[in-house]
């Protein structure tokens, strides 16, 4: 590119204009920030000097003044927060204000040059110098090549023609180069982004969002989205950018605390934590299913620890009863039986009886049944019972008044003194009222946990009695029981739905049971759900291979669709093709053009020889300036053993479900804890020598697809000679 060309000079002039405007607005924001600080100090000083000690004796005027000052402080705090966000955005724009441009000629209007960046930049004349990548017009850059194009804005569809598309490389406010391009999944900015080494946090992808990814990010046609994406297709990045898009478009209606992301584990939650702040948004609430169960079921007594359940779920169990429990309680049949049982409780478990007070009928059995069935129909059982209790309280009032008068007549001879009589009447009335409510409470009492155990009893057969007895007789809840119990309590009305949540994102959904998805759908009834996953990474030992589309019938209350991300952008073509060979069925052909070295396989004749080779290869790769290295096994025990063998010679870190993960080191961990993560170099230790037999394996596929640039596989076979 000729830096003396007229085009380069014009582009450089525009960059200078933009940076000058950024600097001007930054300076204005700094002045505002300082002014807000002064207001804050002045208000606090006035509070201290003029208001002093607030009390009702000093009059309402003082309290009114005090509340006014507090309101001023709150308003000022909000202004400071907005100003700080403005400063952070402009500080980021100083280094790289935009990354692309397209020229669009709307029909009937003159040509507009549209520059795209992370944030809007509007000058004093209200001209857009930069469009936020989430703005409606910016979708043209991601969705269309040169030629006819259209975008949807609040006033409807806008049609026109894209006459130029240009990409920029700007660092530290300097224009390094630019080039004109058409949309292409192998364009320069995408290739540059993919060839970089990873770091400890997931990166934003606004400069390289592809057409199929942009469709998911901006979709508003469907209430619920199910995204099936190949390993490395950008599922999680797309989900996070979708959240940023929604927060941008509906800023007045949706706040970050109304969005929840369910991550597969805490390590992954930390890994993705930098994306939204870099896009100028506050982080949303992140949860795992384990934290959901801990927060809502509260008591830890008699509950299987999540760390232990994780091993069982992903490594399998040698205990046949444990496997039998998982097979039963994660099945769709179990879910249907549980829901059917809850529906039957209202007729089978709740027995109303006519209630009398002082010999007089307060409410009949038939009246209670009618009130329960009709007045609060559609509400959870416990809320309906609460409604019955409220009805009884209301009907009892005139009976209490009547009985009070009766007691006064009965006891006035025994207690001629008015105070003594009043006390005696009150005591007798309270005793009768207490007896009355003891009967009412016994009749209306329904314990959700006990009802769940009764439900399990109804499922007991000769074949599963030993398996169910631990929960039924000893009140010990396996992980799968905790999920079922929470759903049971939700249906019963003991756990309240979280109605304020508007959007819910579930990552690695292929490892969820139907019950888990249904629970989230009912717990967050107003949330629009986005489920993301990859059926080919279904490494939960008990769910097996399942297509995400099977969750569709669960997502009621609005339309849903299944979208697919087929291309993989993480690994080189050599690694992708190698990994795809271990998928069941015909291998995928979804690699992009980024090339690299072929994966290497080492099969030794003993465990000791395998470890020795592994040591030498890890040591050698450490000199290649890769920031992150992952050594992956199938089980945690295997990871612990490999770490023990390496740590005296190589500084490795054994990652467990309790560990904090630092990507920029040599991590040893089971594959199921690496889901969603990526490493510059990956070393897979295959204890079972599946690599030698060519056996299809979703676990190996998942492990292989964690590698960006370099992949080596290690195994041993006593019957083979060392290679």
Decide if pLDDT at 573 tops 80: yes
Decide if pLDDT at 676 tops 90: no
Comparing 276 with 664, which gets the higher pLDDT?
276
DSSP 520-588: HHHHSTTPEEEEEE-GGG---TTT-S--GGGGGGG--SS-EEEEEE--B-SS-HHHHHHHHTTSSSSPP
On whether both 368 and 480 belong to a single domain, the answer is no
Mean pLDDT of the chain: 88
On whether both 341 and 369 belong to a single domain, the answer is no
pLDDT digit string (tens) for 634-671? Answer: 999 999 999 999 999 999 999 988 887 777 789 999 99
Residue at which a domain ends, from 428, 462, 490: 428
Comparing 193 with 263, which gets the higher pLDDT?
263
Residue 599 lies inside a defined structural domain of this protein: yes
Q: Residue 596's domain is classified under what CATH number?
A: 3.40.50.300
Helix (H) or strand (E) holding 668, with range, is strand 666-670
On whether both 453 and 338 belong to a single domain, the answer is yes
The CA distance from 384 to 366, in Å, is 15
Comparing 53 with 604, which gets the higher pLDDT?
604
pLDDT digit string (tens) for 227-250? Answer: 999 998 999 999 999 999 999 999
Helix (H) or strand (E) holding 617, with range, is helix 607-621
Decide if pLDDT at 379 tops 80: yes
On whether both 341 and 388 belong to a single domain, the answer is no
Residue 613 lies inside a defined structural domain of this protein: yes
Residue 581 lies inside a defined structural domain of this protein: no
Q: Which two tokens stand for residue 141?
A: 């850059």
Decide if pLDDT at 511 tops 80: yes
Q: Does residue 606 sit in helix, strand or coil?
A: coil
Cα-based angle 226, 232, 233 (whole degrees, multiple of 5): 45
On whether both 236 and 299 belong to a single domain, the answer is yes
Confidence of residue 185 (pLDDT cuts 50, 70, 90): very low
Comparing 703 with 306, which gets the higher pLDDT?
703
Residue 462 lies inside a defined structural domain of this protein: yes
Residue 666 lies inside a defined structural domain of this protein: yes
Task: Please give the pLDDT value at position 554.
Answer: 92
- Predicted TM-score (pTM) above 0.95: no
The CA distance from 297 to 485, in Å, is 9
Residue 210 lies inside a defined structural domain of this protein: no
Decide if pLDDT at 721 tops 50: no
Residue 573 lies inside a defined structural domain of this protein: no
On whether both 321 and 359 belong to a single domain, the answer is no
Decide if pLDDT at 546 tops 80: no
Comparing 714 with 585, which gets the higher pLDDT?
714
Cα-Cα-Cα-Cα dihedral sign, residues 502, 505, 510, 512: negative
Decide if pLDDT at 106 tops 50: yes
Task: Please give the pLDDT value at position 722.
Answer: 38
On whether both 28 and 63 belong to a single domain, the answer is yes
Task: Please give the pLDDT value at position 594.
Answer: 81
On whether both 414 and 456 belong to a single domain, the answer is no
Q: Percentage of the chain with pLDDT > 70?
A: 92
Q: Which among 265-274, 318-327, 605-614 has the top mean pLDDT?
A: 605-614
Give the lowest-confidence range in 47-56, 92-101, 601-610, 633-642: 47-56
Comparing 519 with 305, which gets the higher pLDDT?
519
Task: Please give the pLDDT value at position 547.
Answer: 84
On whether both 463 and 380 belong to a single domain, the answer is no
The CA distance from 717 to 603, in Å, is 7
Give the lowest-confidence range in 64-68, 101-105, 159-163: 64-68
Residue 576 lies inside a defined structural domain of this protein: no
On whether both 58 and 174 belong to a single domain, the answer is yes
Range(s) of the domain holding residue 413 = 351-428
On whether both 559 and 592 belong to a single domain, the answer is no
On whether both 96 and 19 belong to a single domain, the answer is yes
pLDDT digit string (tens) for 413-437? Answer: 888 898 999 999 999 999 999 999 9
Confidence of residue 49 (pLDDT cuts 50, 70, 90): low
Indicate the number of domains in the chain.
4
The CA distance from 405 to 402, in Å, is 5
The CA distance from 262 to 295, in Å, is 14
Exposed/middle/buried for residue 463 (C-beta within 10 Å: 0-12, 13-18, 19+)? exposed
């Amino acid at each position: 590119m000729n830096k003396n060309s007229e085009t380069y000079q014009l582009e450089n002039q525009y960059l200078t204009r933009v940076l000058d405007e950024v600097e001007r607005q930054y300076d204005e924001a700094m002045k505002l920030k300082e002014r807000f600080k002064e207001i804050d100090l002045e208000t606090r000083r006035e509070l201290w000097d003029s208001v002093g000690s607030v009390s009702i004796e000093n009059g309402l005027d003082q309290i009114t003044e005090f509340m006014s000052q507090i309101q001023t402080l709150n308003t000022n705090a909000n202004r400071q927060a907005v100003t700080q966000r403005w400063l952070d955005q402009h500080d980021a724009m100083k280094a790289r204000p935009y990354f692309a441009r397209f020229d669009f000629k709307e029909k009937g209007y003159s040509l507009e040059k549209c520059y795209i960046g992370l944030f809007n930049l509007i000058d004093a004349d209200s001209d857009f110098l930069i469009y936020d990548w989430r703005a409606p017009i910016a979708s043209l850059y991601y969705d269309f090549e040169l030629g006819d194009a259209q975008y949807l804005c609040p006033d409807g569809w806008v049609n026109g023609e894209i006459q130029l598309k240009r990409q920029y490389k700007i660092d530290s406010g300097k224009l390094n180069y630019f080039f004109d391009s058409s949309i292409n999944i192998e364009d320069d900015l995408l290739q540059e982004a993919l060839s970089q080494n990873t770091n400890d946090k997931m990166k934003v992808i606004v400069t390289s969002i592809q057409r199929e990814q942009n469709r998911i990010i901006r979709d508003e046609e469907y209430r619920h989205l199910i995204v099936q994406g190949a390993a490395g297709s950008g599922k999680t990045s797309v989900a996070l950018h979708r959240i940023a898009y929604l927060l941008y478009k509906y800023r007045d209606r949706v706040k970050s605390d109304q969005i929840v992301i369910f991550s597969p584990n805490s390590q992954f939650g930390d890994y993705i934590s930098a994306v939204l702040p870099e896009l100028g948004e506050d982080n949303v609430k992140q949860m795992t299913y384990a934290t959901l169960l801990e927060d809502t079921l509260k008591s830890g007594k008699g509950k299987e620890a999540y760390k232990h359940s994780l091993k069982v779920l992903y490594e399998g169990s040698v205990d046949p009863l444990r496997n039998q429990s998982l097979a039963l309680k994660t099945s769709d049949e179990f879910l249907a039986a549980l829901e059917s049982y809850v529906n039957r409780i209202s007729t089978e478990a709740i027995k109303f009886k006519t209630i009398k007070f002082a010999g007089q009928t307060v409410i009949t059995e038939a009246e209670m049944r009618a009130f329960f069935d009709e007045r609060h129909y559609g509400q959870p059982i416990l809320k309906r019972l609460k409604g019955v209790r409220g009805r009884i309280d209301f009907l009892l009032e005139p009976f209490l008044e009547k009985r009070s008068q009766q007691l006064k007549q009965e006891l006035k001879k025994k207690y001629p003194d008015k105070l003594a009589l009043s006390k005696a009447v009150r005591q007798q009335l309270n005793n009768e009222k207490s007896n009355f409510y003891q009967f009412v409470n016994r009749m209306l009492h329904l314990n959700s946990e006990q009802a769940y155990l009764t439900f399990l009893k109804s499922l007991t057969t000769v074949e599963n009695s030993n398996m169910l007895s631990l929960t039924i007789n000893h009140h010990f809840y396996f992980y799968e029981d905790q999920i079922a119990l929470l759903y049971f309590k939700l249906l019963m009305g003991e756990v309240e739905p979280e109605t304020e949540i508007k959007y819910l994102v579930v990552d690695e959904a292929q490892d969820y049971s139907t019950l888990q998805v249904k629970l989230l759908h009912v717990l967050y009834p107003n949330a629009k759900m986005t489920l993301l996953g990859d059926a080919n990474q279904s490494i939960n030992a008990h769910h097996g291979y399942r297509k995400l589309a099977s969750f569709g019938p669960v997502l009621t209350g609005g339309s849903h669709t299944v979208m697919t991300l087929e291309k993989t952008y993480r690994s080189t073509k050599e690694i992708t093709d190698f990994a795809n060979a271990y998928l069941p069925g015909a291998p995928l052909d979804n690699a992009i053009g980024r090339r690299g070295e072929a994966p290497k396989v080492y099969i030794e004749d003993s465990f000791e020889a395998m470890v020795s080779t592994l040591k030498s290869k890890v040591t050698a790769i450490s000199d290649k300036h890769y920031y992150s290295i992952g050594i992956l096994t199938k089980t945690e025990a295997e990871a612990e053993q490999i770490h023990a063998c390496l740590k005296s010679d190589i500084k490795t870190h054994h990652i467990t479900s309790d560990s904090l993960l630092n990507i920029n080191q040599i991590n040893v961990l089971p594959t199921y804890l690496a889901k969603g993560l990526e490493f510059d170099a990956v070393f897979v230790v295959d204890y079972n020598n599946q690599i030698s037999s060519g056996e299809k394996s979703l676990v190996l596929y998942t492990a292989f697809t964690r590698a960006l640039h370099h992949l080596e596989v290690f195994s041993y076979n006593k019957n083979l000679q060392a290679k």
